[in-house]
Structure 1
Amino acid sequence: MLNKAARLMKLFLVLMFAAAIVFPATVQAATENETNEIRYLLGNYHVSGITEDKLEGKTVEEMLALLDDPFTTYFTSEQRDQFLNAIENSFVGIGVRLGEDEDGLYISEVFPNMPADLAGLQRDDYITAINGSSVQGKSATDAVNSILGEENTSVRLTVKRGGDLLNISIQRGQVQVPIVVSKRFGQIGYIELSSFSSNGDKEFTKALEQMKADDIGALIIDLRDNGGGYIDTAKNIGANFIKQGVFVHTNDRNQKDIPSIIENGQTFDKPIFLLLNGNSASASEALAGALRDSANATIIGMNSFGKGSMQYMMNLTDGGMLKVTTVEYLTPKNNKVNHVGLKPDVEVYGSMPQMLAALQAAGLSDITIKFNKHHAAINDIDVSDPMPYKVEDGQLYVPSRTLAAMIGADVVWNSKDNTVDIIKGTKKQSYELTKKVVIQADSITYLNVAEFAKTFDTKWSQTGDSWILKVSTK
């Protein structure tokens, strides 16, 4: 058994961080061979230090429960393929993102050259029926489950476009969701990385090299909602900013520190800003910790998830796979991540306020946001950050945190006076919770833009179904 497991380790191990992908808790029965292999691998490599004798006579499900480690997982061959495809942002479908509003389910994004695009679906189409069955009362999740299916099968969508109802048949196929999205806000570069896929480092570096050629003045790296992926991908991305040094420290079951070292990397002489939120996990945290410790990067957003452990993926002889936690990692300055996360240097609540805060920190002084109920753009560049707003009695109300972020100010709830306070430098303005000034709904505090503009220079207008907000902080 020892020699057999050793061969498995040698031939099939892939070092990776577990992405935030969840499979059913019920473990499908492993074969006897796989059960024996799993017992050996857990008893010799799991970071807890558990030994084989403690696992003797137990099923795979019982062994995993004993570890109390949600990131050590047994996969059937089918689940393994789903897991690996998820890291690559690849799946069988039609290639759209769905949104939901008071009018129903709509298409918020159509991926270029994917089945939906080729069939003629468009952004903002409302889905009224799937295969002839009305979607009224169904959630976006229910709709997605109805649309997904086997490759090369068809799904028929009835969509409302303007005043027309269209029936569109789409053949399901392999969909590749973009891993890297890059944009320019003037001299500020922006790269969004959604997963540390096997090719993510190459795509990231290509986007970065183009920005360096364009002589950007600052860089924003968006790792929000990035649950992780391959450690080598994260390390290779880090090498764009760290010439030489520790990427992460790793502690194994024997508490031995085995640092992962970057050699022959590069330096980056422009300011770096990282966007994180509570769903930024694993490889995202490793990269962010390394760039803050070794490349003077600034983290903006919310405390990250706190998954400071690495998993090996081990293929089993009967077709399954074991993903097992083998080490805990620390940042280059030996800061703990596991169960703690990374605390931001600048804490900002809310997706759009985070984006605006990063742009402000990177030097963007003139900001124009154009938005409607489905989409938003900053300085004519589309962003995925939602822009909630309300219109009552002809007055525009925008979240107070968004307005504060636009001008680089802080927003504070004053419980003593029962007011919302906007503070910028020595200037402070308090807004009472009256209907014509402040609206509170869906856990968001909305502020009347006209009232805000009395103190802070803000222009706003309406064009068709879109609103436009403009500020300058020069």
Structure 2
Amino acid sequence: MKRIFSRFIYFFIILVVCNCLVFAPNTYASIENQKLLLESWDLLNTSYLDDTFNNQNWYLVKQDLMKYSLNTREETYKVIDEMLITLDEPFTRLLRPEQYHNLKIETSGEFSGIGLRLQINPQTEKLEVVSPIKNSPAEFAGIKEHDLILEIDGISTTNLNLDQAAEKMRGLTGTRINLTIFSSQNKKVYQNQIIRKHISLSPLISNIDKTSSDSFVGYIRLNKFSSNAVEEMKTTIKTLEEEGAKSYILDLRDNPGGLFESGINIARLWMNKGTIVYTINRQGIQNSFSSSGKPLTNSPLVLLVNKGTASSSEILAGALQDSRRAILFGETTFGKGLIQSLFELSNNCGLAVTVAKYETPNHKDIHKLGIQPDKIILQETLAYDEIGTIKDIQYQEAIKFLREK
């Protein structure tokens, strides 16, 4: 009887050990996925602006989440997405590793690639070159404005969106990329092999309008509030001052924002002494950011804005409008009065969490309302190369106003 019992124990142990060997990897993955889920929940618990979490018991949400069996990362991401949906607030969002990586590149203003500005042409829906970046591998390879990128490393661009195409363009410095290009000049398809290099991407474009001999207007288009935007703006203003600019147009149309700090520091380059923005956190504590009163120029300034002007762009626009430093032309802005902090999670993904709201210097809450321009000027959608031309009604009205002023 003892022998039978011993054999039973022996086979039971073997069975347990075998099961552990078979299921241990899945168990480990499930534990890691649970950790990622709880990490996300905890960040929201401690940092999210609305401490009612859209009027729900956040701890009960946690209990419900723990019931999920999370065998893969994608399953975990979907559960985190479901958790965020309950907040009913689109700016708090999970960034999967690729999205998080792309966002860090955008805000840093530096990347490794070939240096092309691209767009999906609204008429043809083709991937089109807006322009090669100056002194980039793409420029040296002879790629021109309006060329079409048909294939990237043998993959058709027909079904790629702009982010997917940009991601395929980027890569390690020194690696090669093969492009199939339709030339806009000679109307022929050709192959081009280019070596990627490190590129510093300027977030702004500038020029000076000298069509009136006694009233030069400096034009600055700011596309993104990246980490290098402040220094680029400083350099540009000083250059335009040296070239004789008597007034300025700062174009914030379709600028989706970026780094909060960049918005504050760029406001300081233009503003005299005064408040730039007020922020309010989940405890209701109000903080403020101000200008010291040492702008780089006091010349007249017009801001161009539209419904794509959002976030840090609205902080800048609100500060310059309320302080009467600038006149706003264009259309009502997007209306994003919330501030996000970006947290890095395990597995190289990120969580953007709304941690505060803001008000303009005159204590206007612009969330979902936007900023009303001083002069409303409607404008049909322009192609990239039509901005700042005779077809750009908002730009032309700004030029006219500044010259009369």
- For 1:306, the equivalent position in structure 2 comes to 335
1:121-162 Cα offsets, whole Å, 9 max, x none, are 223445566667888xx4784897399356224223243432
TM-score, scaled relative to structure 1: 0.63
1:67 to 87, 98, 102: 87
| Residue pair 1:196, 1:228 contacting (<8 A) in 2 also | yes
Distance verdict in 2 for CA 1:172–1:364, change over 3 Å? farther
- For 1:441, the equivalent position in structure 2 comes to none
- 2-structure distance, mates of 1:319, 1:129: 29
List aligned pairs for 1:2-21, cutoff 5 A: none
2:194 to 170, 186, 192: 170
1:194 to 223, 226, 229: 223
1:241-284 Cα offsets, whole Å, 9 max, x none, are 22332211112223332222333543742211001111110000
**1:180 is aligned to 2:204:** yes
- For 2:68, the equivalent position in structure 1 comes to none
- For 1:113, the equivalent position in structure 2 comes to 135
Secondary structure at 2:323's aligned position in 1? helix
1:389-419 Cα offsets, whole Å, 9 max, x none, are xxxxxxxxxxxxxxxxxxxxxxxxxxxxxxx
Distance verdict in 2 for CA 1:299–1:150, change over 3 Å? closer
| Residue pair 1:42, 1:50 contacting (<8 A) in 2 also | no
Secondary structure at 2:140's aligned position in 1? helix
List aligned pairs for 1:223-302, cutoff 5 A: 223-263=252-292, 265-266=294-295, 268-302=297-331
| Residue pair 1:155, 1:172 contacting (<8 A) in 2 also | no
Secondary structure at 2:37's aligned position in 1? helix
Q: What is the Cα deviation at residue 354 of structure 1?
A: 1.2
Q: What is the Cα deviation at residue 221 of structure 1?
A: 0.5
| Residue pair 1:93, 1:148 contacting (<8 A) in 2 also | no
Secondary structure at 1:47's aligned position in 2? coil
Q: What is the Cα deviation at residue 201 of structure 1?
A: 0.7
The one-letter amino acid of 2:209's match is F
- 1-structure distance, mates of 2:238, 2:155: 48
Q: What is the Cα deviation at residue 299 of structure 1?
A: 0.7
List aligned pairs for 1:353-432, cutoff 5 A: 353-363=393-403
Distance verdict in 2 for CA 1:255–1:111, change over 3 Å? same
TM-score, scaled relative to structure 2: 0.73
- 2-structure distance, mates of 1:85, 1:129: 23
Question: Which stretches in structure 1 are left out of the alignment for 5+ residues?
Answer: 1-28, 366-474
Secondary structure at 2:90's aligned position in 1? coil
- 2-structure distance, mates of 1:66, 1:208: 45
The one-letter amino acid of 1:119's match is A
2:233 to 201, 204, 216: 204
- 2-structure distance, mates of 1:302, 1:123: 29
Question: Which stretches in structure 2 are left out of the alignment for 5+ residues?
Answer: 1-30, 66-78, 211-215, 383-391
Secondary structure at 1:87's aligned position in 2? helix
2:376 to 342, 347, 350: 347
Q: RMSD value over aligned CA atoms?
A: 3.2
Hey, which of these two has a bigger chunk of strand by percent? 1
- 2-structure distance, mates of 1:290, 1:157: 46
The one-letter amino acid of 1:75's match is L
Q: What is the Cα deviation at residue 77 of structure 1?
A: 4.1
- For 1:400, the equivalent position in structure 2 comes to none
- 2-structure distance, mates of 1:329, 1:223: 19
Moved more, 260-269 or 351-360: 260-269
The one-letter amino acid of 1:48's match is D
- 1-structure distance, mates of 2:180, 2:364: 51
Hey, which of these two has a bigger chunk of helix by percent? 2
- For 2:38, the equivalent position in structure 1 comes to 36
Secondary structure at 1:181's aligned position in 2? strand
Query: What count of residue pairs does the alignment treat as equivalent?
Result: 335
- 2-structure distance, mates of 1:106, 1:246: 42
The one-letter amino acid of 1:308's match is G
| Residue pair 2:205, 2:222 contacting (<8 A) in 1 also | yes
List aligned pairs for 1:316-327, cutoff 5 A: 316=345, 319-327=348-356
Q: What is the Cα deviation at residue 361 of structure 1?
A: 1.5
- 1-structure distance, mates of 2:35, 2:217: 55
| Residue pair 1:224, 1:275 contacting (<8 A) in 2 also | yes
- 1-structure distance, mates of 2:37, 2:205: 42
1:18-45 Cα offsets, whole Å, 9 max, x none, are xxxxxxxxxxx98333333332221232
Q: What is the Cα deviation at residue 99 of structure 1?
A: 6.5
- For 1:12, the equivalent position in structure 2 comes to none
Among all aligned residue pairs of Structure 1 and Structure 2, give the percentage whose two residues are the same amino acid: 26
- 1-structure distance, mates of 2:207, 2:153: 37
Q: What is the Cα deviation at residue 106 of structure 1?
A: 5.2
- For 1:334, the equivalent position in structure 2 comes to 363
Distance verdict in 2 for CA 1:144–1:174, change over 3 Å? farther
| Residue pair 2:219, 2:250 contacting (<8 A) in 1 also | yes
| Residue pair 1:155, 1:169 contacting (<8 A) in 2 also | yes
Q: What is the Cα deviation at residue 326 of structure 1?
A: 1.0
Distance verdict in 2 for CA 1:245–1:31, change over 3 Å? farther
Q: What is the Cα deviation at residue 232 of structure 1?
A: 1.1
